[in-house]
């Protein structure tokens, strides 16, 4: 299996969240933890120094054959926004994304500035759809 830099650590998720300077972003972190914990049935773990992940799996790239250990879902409170690591199929959720609110997407990431910009129920649906589809989709 290939080595990647971002790995699960024994660091405290709560301690990490409490270092987030912006009070609203810190509160949003705790909400995201609860949403992802409920959807995944997994406890949060730190992955690297700034990513909170739920569950883990071994991924094999269909393109290169490279295998890595990665989180099922997770998020990171970046300075500019939240990066939500849902799956490599986030763009297939067009109907939900249209109802979500203010956001941007990447290949497997959803970017939101703050939770008040989005519909929390739709976000929960996106998280659940991501878990159901699996990393590379069904």
Instruction: Examine the pLDDT at 138 and tell me if it is beyond 50.
Output: no
pTM over the 0.75 mark: yes
Give CA separation, 88 vs 20, 32, 35, in Å. Answer: 27, 19, 20
| Rounded CA separation 80/11 (Å) | 23
Query: What sign does the CA torsion over 112, 54, 125, 91 have?
Result: positive
Report, at the CATH architecture level, how domain 13-133 is classified: Alpha-Beta Complex (3.90)
3-state secondary structure of 14: helix
pLDDT at residue 97 in the model: 94
Per-residue pLDDT tens digits for 12-38: 999 999 999 999 999 999 999 999 999
Going through the chain in order, the beta strands assigned E by DSSP cover 44-47, 51-60, 67-77, 82-85, 104-105, 109-112
Q: Once rounded to an integer, what is the mean pLDDT over residues 93-100?
A: 94
User: Cβ(57)–Cβ(72) under 8 Å?
Assistant: yes
Instruction: Examine the pLDDT at 1 and tell me if it is beyond 60.
Output: no
In this structure, the number of other CB atoms found within 10 A of the CB of residue 101 comes to 15
pLDDT at residue 77 in the model: 97
Instruction: Examine the pLDDT at 46 and tell me if it is beyond 80.
Output: yes
Residue 89's Cα: distance from chain center in Å?
13
User: Cβ(70)–Cβ(13) under 8 Å?
Assistant: no
Per-residue pLDDT tens digits for 50-91: 999 999 888 777 788 888 788 899 999 999 999 999 876 787
| Rounded CA separation 61/121 (Å) | 31
The structural domains of the chain, with segments of one domain joined by +, span: 13-133
């Amino acid at each position: 299996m290939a080595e990647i830099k971002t790995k699960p650590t024994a660091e405290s998720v709560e301690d990490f969240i409490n270092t987030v300077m912006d009070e609203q972003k810190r509160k949003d972190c705790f909400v995201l933890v609860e949403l992802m914990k409920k959807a995944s049935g997994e406890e949060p773990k730190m992955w690297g120094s700034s990513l909170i992940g739920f569950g883990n799996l071994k991924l094999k790239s269909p393109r290169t054959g490279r295998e890595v250990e990665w989180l099922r879902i997770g998020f990171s409170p970046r300075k500019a926004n939240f990066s939500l690591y849902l799956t490599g199929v986030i763009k297939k959720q067009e109907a939900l994304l249209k109802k979500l609110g203010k956001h941007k997407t990447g290949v497997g990431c959803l970017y939101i500035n703050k939770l008040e910009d989005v519909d929390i129920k739709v976000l929960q649906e996106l998280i659940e759809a991501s878990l159901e589809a699996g990393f590379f989709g069904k």
